[in-house]
A and B are shown apart, each in its own frame.
Chain A
Amino acid sequence: MKDKSKKKEEQLAADAVTTSATDVQEISSLAEATKSTAAAEETIHLIVFKLGAEEYGIKIEQVKEVTVTPSVTRMPRTPDFIKGVANIRGDIIAIMDLEERFGIRPAPLTSDQNPNITYTLVIEARDYSIGVIVREVPQSLNLSMAKIDKAPSFLQDINIHANYIEGIAKVNERLIIVLDMYKILTQDEIQELKS
């Protein structure tokens, strides 16, 4: 298992390098900066992706792999945010669209984006895996735990989403919403799927 997760990190980093080298440099210098200022400080490794216009992050321990979305077989009569099932290395897993799940307006396509290629984060929940579709290549980001505001006051203003939001990370000018994927699909919602 250990080896696997190491490989996964390397692979993720490699993905990031090929696609957006500048971002990565920024990230790694940031990470180093945090490390040097407080070596004892706890850091957190996030996979960052965009939903709509905002950036979201998931702890790397919850991400099994990132891959170009394979062909997805639609499953009629399932909720809209379930895009269907896909065969990822012999495992057949559900593919979910978080933009639809949260009712987030999709961002308009930029000119350099290929509308036919999306990426899938394979999330390892407690007893199953699920795929999450994102449009842009996810990035890897190391930051200090201190940068995460665990309980921002505005969380009280929003009700349902609050469950999934573990905190808000502020890195330079960026604001990253950190999600707890284990809570993305609660028991209630699994029930809802039954319909």
Chain B
Amino acid sequence: MKSREQEYKEIFIAEALEYFDALNRLISELEKRPQDDQVLAEIFRMLHNLKANAKAIGYLQISDLSHKLETAFGLIRNKELSFSDEVVGVLFDGIDMLGELIGNIDGEFPVEPDQVLLRNLDIIVDSLSDSTIELAKVQKFSTSRNLTLSDLIYIQIRKLDHLMNLVGELIIDRDRILSLSRELDHDELKQVSSHLYRITEELQYSVMDARLVSIGTLFNKFPRVVRDIANAEKKEVDLELSGQDIQIDRNILQIMTDSLLHLVRNAITHGIEKPAEREKSGKPKTGNLELSARSDRESVVITLADDGKGIDLKKVRSAAVQQRMVSADVAEDLPDSEVFSFLFEPGFSMAKEVTEFSGRGVGLDVVKNAIDSIGGRIRVESEKGKGTTFTLQLPTSIAVKGALLFEVDSIFYAIPLIHTDSVVALDKDELHEVSDVLVADIKGETVTVVYLHELLNTGEPNMRLGDKTRLQGQVQNIIIVSYNNRKLGLIVDKLYRQQDIVVKPLSKPLDSIDLYGGVTLLGTGKVCLVLDVPAITKYFISKR
């Protein structure tokens, strides 16, 4: 695989060549209609972009030349320079040279910009009225021109979506064929199917790779956003970015865009204090906001940390009580991690006033829903006076997920690994009936446990989630899942393996049933239901 740098370079060259083609077309048009402001504006814009891109990637000759041309066209636009024959010649030469430079970035013999031409450009720019200075003859670049097509193509994301779906289907069928070939115990078939396995795997990763974009494409928009919000709030904020090179599926990034923007707004308006206030509490005047990304096994972890005033747990508790999400005495005893989870409840708000940028009734629940929808996780940590950190764990790809397979009442289920914490086997005696639920001590932590069979299959009026007699057998297999800072143990009948699955969304009218995130087909051809951990947690809470 090529390095990132190489990839950026290729993208730059492809774009630059496109600009070059467009510039040639536009300047020819301009020659015919010198008064056309739109064409001029377009040329100006392109040269400007080219200059900026070239500078960013370090091709200074291209950026310098673009700059000179841009200046000349700027003067023409402001009617300070007439688009006369002499000038036209120089500009055409300049654009030709630009093409030559771009085309030879990767060439064996780097091209040096023609000094005579550069001087000519300077002359037309500097000696506006006094055009008596002779323009020197330049060697023509266009003589050696070849017509070339770009190495890069643009492709609509929906075509890649379609491709990804097809690959998903292919993988399902491949697994089926693989399992059939084992059953039939036919050597040649086994050979062919294992080859098929390798090819589809490579195909899958290639398609996934084609959909990846670097997180920087989103991160790099934030410096400006932060500046604007900070200005409006009269705050001073430094933004630190890191991990821009981390790759993530384009659609996942798209879905996260609004959420990230929301969190950043929140951090500045509600987190970071005004300069005076910060100094009073012994902090540097300028607040610090850190937006970073890193890869973690199969997922991408984005963290947003501010050094603001932090979340006041006491206030969260009282707001939750006020908004009747929990009774006062229960709120007192809730562990901090659960108190934080109120922040993500629909309708929960602590904002007293509405500003231009936050507190317009869109809460963290919207962020949470967006993350749930792609099967990610969000966590918040905060210390009063020190700051708040949001951690978003996102899958790198939507379609293929690692999952844990299990069985309840002869139905196959899967839970995406991103939601599972651990798997334990406990003796029935280690489960305790506490009020209406079962609890167990798991690695020193008291965790609520629920028998999935009871939760899913018993008629709702007869459901008794705190009744141990409903359990079957002595040893219980428990999958610990975690959602919204809450852990929940799910007792399953049989635990199978860990496996990469392709989640197919449920088709209508079943797509509105929250409990299932989708289905997948097992190698045996059996349908396996993919449980949605957020929904199952919510369902459990509503039935408790």
- By a beta-carbon cutoff of 8 Å, the part of chain A in contact with chain B is 71, 73-78, 82, 85-87, 90-94, 125, 127-130, 185, 189-191, 193-194
Contact B456 A76 (CB under 8 A): yes
Query: In this assembly, does B54 line the interface, its C-beta being within 8 Å of a C-beta of chain A?
Result: no
Query: In this assembly, does B101 line the interface, its C-beta being within 8 Å of a C-beta of chain A?
Result: no
Contact B514 A194 (CB under 8 A): yes
**Cβ < 8 Å to A, chain B residues 509-527:** 509-510, 512-516, 519, 521, 525-527
Contact A75 B509 (CB under 8 A): no
Query: In this assembly, does B324 line the interface, its C-beta being within 8 Å of a C-beta of chain A?
Result: no
Q: What are 28 pairs between A and B in contact, CB < 8 Å?
A: A73-B411, A73-B526, A73-B528, A75-B510, A75-B529, A76-B456, A78-B513, A82-B510, A85-B506, A86-B527, A87-B526, A87-B527, A90-B172, A90-B521, A92-B504, A92-B507, A92-B519, A94-B507, A127-B508, A128-B507, A128-B508, A130-B508, A190-B508, A190-B512, A191-B512, A193-B509, A193-B512, A194-B512
Query: In this assembly, does B161 line the interface, its C-beta being within 8 Å of a C-beta of chain A?
Result: no
For A130, the closest partner residue in chain B by CB is: B509
Contact B516 A75 (CB under 8 A): yes
Docked complex Cα distance between A85 and B529 (Å): 9
Residues in A with CB closer than 8 Å to B515 are 76-77
Docked complex Cα distance between A125 and B504 (Å): 19
- Residue in B169, B508, B509 whose CB lies within 8 Å of A90: B169
For A73, the closest partner residue in chain B by CB is: B527
Docked complex Cα distance between A90 and B529 (Å): 15
Query: In this assembly, does B18 line the interface, its C-beta being within 8 Å of a C-beta of chain A?
Result: no
Query: In this assembly, does B336 line the interface, its C-beta being within 8 Å of a C-beta of chain A?
Result: no
Residues in B with CB closer than 8 Å to A93 are 507
Interface string of B517-544 (1 = CB under 8 A from A): 0010100011111000000000100000
Contact A92 B521 (CB under 8 A): yes
Query: In this assembly, does B457 line the interface, its C-beta being within 8 Å of a C-beta of chain A?
Result: yes
Residues in A with CB closer than 8 Å to B290 are none
Q: How far is the CB of B158 from chain A (nearest CB, A)?
A: 17
Docked complex Cα distance between A93 and B521 (Å): 12
Query: Beyond the given A71-B526, A73-B529, A85-B527, could you list 14 further A-B residue pairs with CB under 8 A, ordered by the A residue number?
Result: A73-B411, A78-B513, A85-B510, A87-B521, A87-B525, A87-B527, A90-B173, A92-B504, A128-B507, A128-B508, A128-B509, A189-B509, A190-B512, A193-B509
Docked complex Cα distance between A93 and B519 (Å): 10
Contact B526 A194 (CB under 8 A): no
Residues in A with CB closer than 8 Å to B529 are 73, 75, 85
Docked complex Cα distance between A73 and B513 (Å): 15
Q: Which 9 A-B pairs have the closest CB atoms?
A: A128-B508, A76-B456, A73-B527, A190-B509, A128-B507, A94-B510, A194-B512, A92-B519, A185-B509
Docked complex Cα distance between A9 and B158 (Å): 34
Residues in A with CB closer than 8 Å to B519 are 73, 85, 92
Residues in B with CB closer than 8 Å to A76 are 409, 411, 456-457, 515
Q: How far is the CB of A101 from chain B (nearest CB, A)?
A: 12
For B509, the closest partner residue in chain A by CB is: A190
Residues in B with CB closer than 8 Å to A71 are 526
Q: How far is the CB of B214 from chain A (nearest CB, A)?
A: 35
Residues in B with CB closer than 8 Å to A90 are 169, 172-173, 521
**Cβ < 8 Å to A, chain B residues 423-463:** 456-457
Residues in A with CB closer than 8 Å to B514 are 194
Docked complex Cα distance between A127 and B528 (Å): 23
